[in-house]
Amino acid sequence: MDSGLRTGGMSKDAPYDFSHVTMVYAALCTLITLGDDLSRLDKQGTVAGIVALQCPDEPGLFQAGLFCPERDMRFVFSAVASCYILDSLSSLDTEAIVGFIGRSLTHDGGFAQLPGLEAHAGATYCALASLACLNRLESFLPASSRARERLVKWLLSLQDKGFHGRPHKPDDTCYTYWVCASLKLLGCEKFVDQDRLLQFVSSAWDECVGGIRKIPDPSYPSGESEPRTDT
């Protein structure tokens, strides 16, 4: 199974479709979900490709791909999680990654996509999950620390009915996941107003095609419906 990372192109039918570290992570998760043992995977090539995405001018940061200039906390998580799955964390510079995550911590307690930017729920999940994969979450944010308390308060402040990703933004189901997953990693999911949360997610159910919308169906009063009990 060609990782596509060493040579760049993922397929002879799409020679300019180069590998992207988040797609590598998604592919690994898909294979595991389907019960694959990853034995056909070019593990060495995949890990080498991930390591090559480290940004030399910003220790601990990763770019999305060799030919993709995007670089932020999303790709740090994708790289760390992929190496975690492949049991290859030793190939990464753990101290540099933890240092980058630390530089991305903001005054209000959350993590930003890059140092100096505002806190963002998606970036916060990526930072926390990366620390958890590296077995550094508890040492970085000790249970009794003010930094951890400030982070939990900031995450909880993002709930209206569901959660939003930044202050004063509308709730949506995407950020509801990132915030709840972050609180779960911190062992603080019990502080979520679950009744309001379930009401919000239920109201985002698409009665026409199935699945969950990003935002609730506006045809319901106040964007809410009765919680579904048949699924």
Res 30 pLDDT > 60: yes
**For residue 225, what pLDDT band results from cuts at 50, 70 and 90?**
very low
pTM listed for this prediction: 0.88
Angle at CA of residue 188, ends 183 and 192, nearest 5°: 80
Q: Tokens 């990366």 map to which residue?
A: 130
pLDDT > 70 fraction of the chain, expressed in percent and rounded: 87
pLDDT digits (tens, 9 = 90+) for 180-205: 999 999 999 999 999 999 999 999 98
138 phi/psi in degrees, rounded to 5? -70, -35
**For residue 207, what pLDDT band results from cuts at 50, 70 and 90?**
confident
pLDDT digits (tens, 9 = 90+) for 75-85: 999 999 999 99
